[in-house]
Structures are given as C-alpha cells and as structure tokens.
Chain A
C-alpha cells in the first residue's frame, strides 16, 4: 500500500513511496538474533534506527540497508527490509549502482572506521564528492573488533594493540575533516550513548538529498572499552554540541568557540571574551572552511573534546538525479526503446545490401 502523498523534491526521501498504514518499530525488526557482544554500542544505534525508520513514513520494502565487513556491517541482518552484507569496504559502490537505478529506494549504509576509512576510504571520498543520494552511518570505535583488536585508521598514535605491541605509529584520520575535504554536502557526528541526539541527526541525514555522512562514536567494550569515556563522562565538559543558529559552547556554557587571531578556532572562557565573540553555528554556509575548522577541535589522541551535531548541510544536485536527468532528456518522448528504435541502432549509419 502506498500513499499519494509526496515529499519535497529536495528531500532525501522524495521518490520513495510512503506507507499508508503507519509502521512501527517491530515492522523493522528482523527475526535474526542480534549477535554483537554484550554491552556493544551497536545495540543502541540499531535500536535508534529501528525506532526512527517507521517515523520516516516510507514503505518498509523500499528501505535498503547495505554494509561491508566488520562488526557494524552485521547491521542489515537485524533490520527487516531488503539488505546486503557485502564485502570489505565496498558497500558504497553497491549502494551507488542501486541508487542510480532505483530512485524509489531509501538506501542506508552501515559501516565502520576500518571499513569506510581504511579499505573503503577511496569509495567514501568519491561517493561524497559525487553526492549520491545515500545515508552513511559510520560507526567509529577506533579499533578493529571483528578481527580481534588491531589498531584502526582512527586509533590514536601510540595505541598498543595486538598488531602494535610497542604502540601504533599511524597518525589517525578525522572522519569529519576527511568528509568535508571530499566536498560532502552533509556531515554530522553523534554518540551511541546519546539516543535523542543520535535520532535527531539521523532523521536530518535521511531527509538530506545527497550523501549524508554521520560519524557515530561507538564503544567497543571488548577491544577498546571506554574509548569515549573522557568525552562523555559526567564531569567532562568536552561535548561541543553544534546547534543551528546557536552560539557554539561547551555543555557547561563556560567555554565558547571563538575565532583566534591566527584564523583558527579556539575555545575561550566566555566570561573573559564575552558571548558576542562566540561563533554562532551555521551548517548551511556554502564555504566549508568554518565547518572544517570546527572539525579540527576534536582531539586526535584520547578524545576529551569534540564537537557533535551537523557540521555541514548544503544543497547540491545529486549524482544520481543528474544522471537520470541526462537519460530522460536523451530519451525525450520515447518512454522505452522499441523494436524499431533498437533495429535502427543495430543498422547504424552506414549499411549496404547484398543481393
């Protein structure tokens, strides 16, 4: 059953048929037993997604979850819709082919820091710059979990793991900075433990037309337990929440983000610099410079401070919409090729007849 109701053409879900009968969380819960480790942050993310999907109002059968390899990539099995648990790093390539040919689907990718930022980093960059209409959930736990605890491309320098007994000598990558550098039109970050923030960001990501990248700080209780504790502990004042139109401050309101003399962004005591100097967040700025500067406020070692929320949200034609437009223009009035048009194509421009 589909509804005639349509969404705004600029909406990420426009073109996806709407459900007439409201769905609920159970409709998106598959019969498969969830097999992540007890206490894994993935449970919270799955739960948030299963709760959010019915609220989007779209048909379940037009929802597709695609993943690569890693703990996060088990995700599709637990969402009762169409899904593919593909191969390491390549979920975005499969999703791109599907998005181009099926504008009636809402496509979500579940990936991790190894899957998206190491083996599949190439595809992440190119998908973002093309702006394919997809929603990417990047579970960042700063470790390889499924292969039992090797350092990942987001692990801090010096990280001691089974594959780096003397400490990793790899400089980590910042997913948000990378995405902004790759011309992404929607870049956000959230935390597995903050359900309402996560749900809000995910909803905005689905509704964005183009590639939405949501980095989710996620805890791996087995191989990297407490990776985000310094940020999320009650006595921390490091979660800098980005709210559209609001001054950018720490939770206590004690520190605010200001533009320093050298052009970089810095945190400064508001009672010293005054609230007027504190930047007001605007994710819709075409120029990604400020979003990038905000992304650099994240610590690269142990994370004690990091902005969360939507860094950038701008409108740009999507790759798949543009491609489909070219086909529509080329086809003109002819809805489908006919025997006659194909026959003419086979003959080409120059033929001869032998008697």
Chain B
C-alpha cells in the first residue's frame, strides 16, 4: 500500500563516526535528482572526536523534501533515524507525535544508556509509545547482509548507515540506482567495502519490502520546478563559484586570503581546489594577515577576497577600515556563527550585523549584503564583488553557518548571460597631466583605481586622512568634515534594488521584515498564516547598507512591523533608528534557524491583535 504525501522531514542522527552526514547528504541528493524540492540541514559537534556514544558526539543530517517549493529544512520530523541512545536523547524532542522512529536495538547496552543519561531502557519502558517505534537490531541485520564479504566487526558496523538508508529509501519509494552508482564510485579502490555497502543498502530495502514493519509506504511526487539543468549546491560551494564567476566576469584574478575558522574553512577548501581558474588562495598566519594580503592583492588590481567567521571578522576590522580610507575594492565574507567570543563555532547565528555596519572606529560606511538561501549565495558573491570593484570599497557579505552548510537544488545559470563587471582601471594621463587619486566621478563619487605598473599614476595611499582630490595627507578640519561626508555619500549612492512588498491579499496589517538566512523560516511561517486565510506582508532586506531607497516608505505605511532574527534585535534596531518605526524584534538565539512553528504562532497572534485594533 502506498500513500502520497506532499512533504517529509527525515533526520539521520548518530555518533560522529556513524556516517550520518554522508547518509543524509546522499538521501537529499537522490530526492533532488528525483525532482523533489529539498532543503538540508547538517548539524555536527565542534569536537572532532567526542567520546563514542556521548551526547556531545551526536551528529545529524536533516533532509526536507517535497512536491512543492520549500524554503526551510523543516521543524518537526516525520522520521528520525537514531543510531544509538544518545542520538535518541538529543533528537527525540524534534520528532512529531506519531512520527517514525527507527533505531538500532543493539546499541541499547547498559553502558550506552548510561552515557546518554537514561536510567531505564526507553525501548521497553513505554516512554516511546506516542511514536511509531521501529526498533531493529540494525547491527545484526547488517552483519547478516554483508557476512559473505568476511569483514571485521568494525567495518560491518560502519555499513549500518547504508542499511538505514536502504530502509528509509524503501519507505519513501526512492530509486536506489543513483546511490548504488555513488557507492561504486566512492569505494572503487576497496571492492570488499564497496560490495558490503551495496549489500547493506539492498538489505535495508529488502527488510522494508519483506517484513511488515511498516503498514504503508509513501511517495513524494516531483515538485513543479522550472525546467532546466540542476545540481545540488551548498552555500559554501555557491559562494566559491560566485567568486570565481565574478573573477571571470571582471577579467581580474581572484585572490583569497584566509585563516582556518569554522564554519568558513570550507570556502577556503573549495577555492584551493580551483588553481586552474587562476585562483590564488593564501592561508595566512592569522586573520589580520589574511585580510591584509587580500587588500594588497586588490591594490595590485586583483579581486581581493577574505573569508572568515565572527571572531575573525572582529580581528579584521582595522584592515577593513584601511580599505575604507584607501577606497580600494575588498570582499569580506563573514560566515556568521553563534557568539560572543568563541561561542558555538558550528552553530548558526545572525549576530554580526551591527559589527558589519558599525564595528569599526570612526565614520566607516561599508556596503553590506546578505544572501537568503544556500543557492542565493552565488548571486550575492557576484553582487558583492561587483559593488567592491566598481565602487572601490570594501563590501561585507553576511552568510552564516546554516547557509554555508545547508544545500538545495540549483538551476545552473548560464555564465555567458551574466553581466560583465568593468573594473575601469585609471589610464595614464595625457602628457603633463596631474593624477589626482581622490578626484571623484561626480555622479557616483567613485575614485579612480590606479594600479602599480601604470606610468604617470604613481601615488601614495594610506590610513591618514586624505586631502579631497589630490589625496595628500590633510589635517585641515573642514577637509576632514568634507571627506567624512563624501565617504558616507559615496556608499549611500551605490544603487541597490528596491525592497519588494509581498502581500498577495493587499489587506495585510502586519509586515514581517527579515534579512539573510531567516528568509526561509519567515517565508514558511508567512505561507502558513496565509494558508489559514489571514493576510500578512513580507519584506526581505537583502542590502543592509545602503538600505533600499523605498524601505522607509514601505515601513511607514502604518503596519505592525515584526522583525524575526537569530539575534536580540539587530535589524530592528537599525530600522527603528533609521525610520522611526516601531519595529518589533522576535528573537530566538539557539544556534539553529528559527522555528517555523513558533514563528507562525507569533505571527498569528500579531495578525489577530492587529485586526482587533482596527
């Protein structure tokens, strides 16, 4: 018996060594390939090798797949695969009542139970009665499935994840062919492990098929996505590809200065592989050297980029300010993580907005842009590079751990259709002409970018205040006042698209304003409110500086303004200061994306209150 469902959330959870990231990633990739829309959320411990079976060592990978367009990894799980008691303990609260719980009974030893903090065995004490418990001895089923390959116990145990994958694949009527191909490729140099994994995968499938463990099977039909060629892409990959695309579009070599930091290191890894595209990656001795080298490369006419996360971003601020003063291009990507200080390095947060806007000494305006989904990181990276190169300014791109690690299907763009970027280097002056490095374009206020090696444009830049036009050192009070204003006006004039007011009902009395990755949770919550027949408007602020020119008008139309953020109200502070509107923050700072369920409840309440105010 097979039943159609619209969307499903599955989470694979187990010990760090159980291969959960691999299993979840594989399941998501297959769903995307079969035409579902998907959003994934990996969650892993900061400890590389936490004690086996401990709560700290639990690693998980969540896949949300659907026959419709979806925007979040999902809140409540339909299926939880918990490979051991610790995984059960950590993740059971996310499983919806009546959801499927698949777990390996062999792992419920007295030792593991006590590691996970269970005083009695949950499999037998009745505490799991409200869920569909599928308790299997995965270990011995796997062992039976792979016995002909004569592998050791440890290797057999490592194949348990493939057995679980086979079983969940059967449950959702997934085609195993692509996963089989993937296993063959991945383990091509180790035929025994390859065959064991193939057998385990098939074993899981067969178990679903032959036993009556599950009363029904489910099917999730393909989503009606735009036709075209797709790939699966994570935010880190999309940022890396966006930077390479920007390098290609501008004809400038890409230089990345970086220091390893979670969760931004994947960007360094992605770009370090791309030397054949002229990408120079420099692993610096510290965060400051990384941004310094990027600025040096920019000075020389490259696309200088540095990637980091919150603590590293803090260290870079003085160098970013030098880029503000010298008005040189620089792209700074901050993959935000939970702070302050070291905080929770692998967990997501939107805590660095005010640092990006105001975290430097003096009046230091910097364009800030925030992508809203993993695939959107591609466009945001090109946009940040375009602004940096054409307006000669450092630009901050605020991604976060969720965006960087999360992934979704991506309709691959045509590079030939993307708009080129013109760096418009200054050319040698006519004979006898004097070069003025701070002579600005009257419309944009951009200054010329003259790179070393160009005869006749020799000049000196630096962090000291510049004389307007000539660019010599100046302590003149009126000149400083003028330059402070010019720098502010220069950034304020950077063209950014108007904000879009999304209210199909045209009757909303509440508007939800978001930025960055909380777009997903906000969009999902807004959809739920609308599905209940209630009107609500949504605005996504992609450009945090300069803000869209129409934003003030939109927010002053008398609506109740709600600003959900994974911080204590940073965008709402900006909106209140800038527009004198009563923007109300809604904050959850748990190191995870906002909960759609909770946000929906809050929005429903707001909509009801706003209507009764009428």
Contacts and interface: CB of A to CB of B under 8 A. Distances in A.
Interface of A: 30, 32, 59-62, 64, 66, 69, 76-77, 80-87, 90, 92-102, 104-105, 122-123, 125-126, 323, 326-327, 330-332, 334, 336-337, 339, 341-343, 345-348, 350-355
Counting contact residues on chain B (CB < 8 A from A), the size range is: 35 or more
Interface stretch (B8-16, B167-175, B285-293): B285-293
Judged by DSSP, the binding face of B is mixed
23 contacts: A61-B457, A82-B460, A84-B326, A85-B460, A95-B296, A97-B292, A97-B297, A98-B296, A101-B296, A101-B300, A102-B301, A102-B453, A105-B452, A123-B288, A126-B289, A339-B416, A341-B276, A342-B245, A345-B241, A345-B274, A345-B277, A346-B415, A354-B228
A248 B456 CA distance: 47
Contacts, number: 209
B515 interface: no
Given A32-B472, A93-B296, A352-B230, A331 B276 contact: yes
B455 interface: yes
Nearest to A35: B473
Interface in B315-329: 318-319, 321-322, 326
Contacts of B293: 93-94, 96-97, 100
A327 B458 contact: no
A271 to B, nearest CB: 49
Contact of A347 (B29, B229, B463): B229
B299 interface: yes
Contact of A101 (B29, B244, B245, B297): B297
B413 A346 contact: yes
Given A123-B285, A337-B278, 18 more contacts: A32-B460, A60-B455, A61-B455, A93-B296, A97-B297, A97-B298, A98-B452, A104-B453, A123-B292, A126-B285, A337-B248, A337-B277, A339-B248, A343-B415, A346-B245, A351-B229, A353-B229, A354-B228
Contacts of A346: 231, 241, 245, 412-413, 415
Nearest to A341: B277
A85 B247 CA distance: 27
Contacts of A96: 282, 284, 289, 292-293, 296
A287 B299 CA distance: 37
Contacts of A100: 255, 280, 282, 293, 297
A162 B275 CA distance: 52
B273 to A, nearest CB: 9
A31 to B, nearest CB: 9
A93 to B, nearest CB: 3
B450 to A, nearest CB: 8
A69 B540 CA distance: 42
B241 A101 contact: no
B277 A87 contact: no
Contacts of B274: 345
Nearest to B454: A61
Nearest to A349: B231
Interface in B459-510: 459-464, 472-473
A92 B319 CA distance: 13
Contacts of A351: 229-231, 412
B275 A327 contact: yes
A64 B452 contact: yes
Interface in B427-470: 452-464
A123 B289 contact: yes
A348 B463 CA distance: 42
B422 to A, nearest CB: 17
A74 B85 CA distance: 65
Given A97-B304, A98-B297, A90 B288 contact: yes
Nearest to B321: A87
Interface stretch (B197-205, B219-227, B599-607): B219-227
Contacts of B585: none
Contact of B412 (A60, A98, A334, A347): A347
Contacts of A326: 275
Given A104-B453, A351-B412, A97 B282 contact: yes
Contacts of A331: 275-278
B110 to A, nearest CB: 44
A94 B292 contact: yes
The 9 closest A-B pairs by CB, nearest first: A93-B292, A97-B296, A85-B462, A97-B293, A94-B296, A330-B275, A126-B285, A97-B297, A82-B452
Nearest to B251: A336
Contact of A86 (B241, B245, B284, B322): B322
Nearest to A334: B276
A336 B250 CA distance: 12
A351 B178 CA distance: 12
A82 B231 contact: no
Contacts of A76: 460, 462
A82 B459 contact: yes
Interface in B220-274: 222, 225-233, 237, 241, 244-245, 247-248, 253, 255, 257, 274
Given A93-B288, A331-B278, A105 B462 contact: no
Contacts of A125: 285
Given A84-B460, A97-B304, A346-B415, A354 B230 contact: yes
B100 interface: no
B284 to A, nearest CB: 7
A309 B276 CA distance: 43
B89 interface: no
Contact of B415 (A82, A336, A339): A339
B414 interface: yes
B32 interface: yes
A192 B429 CA distance: 37
Contact of A77 (B230, B233, B416, B473): B473
B35 interface: yes
Contacts of A101: 253, 255, 280, 296-297, 300-302
B356 interface: no
B295 interface: yes
A263 to B, nearest CB: 33
B322 A87 contact: yes
Contact of B456 (A61, A93, A94, A99): A61
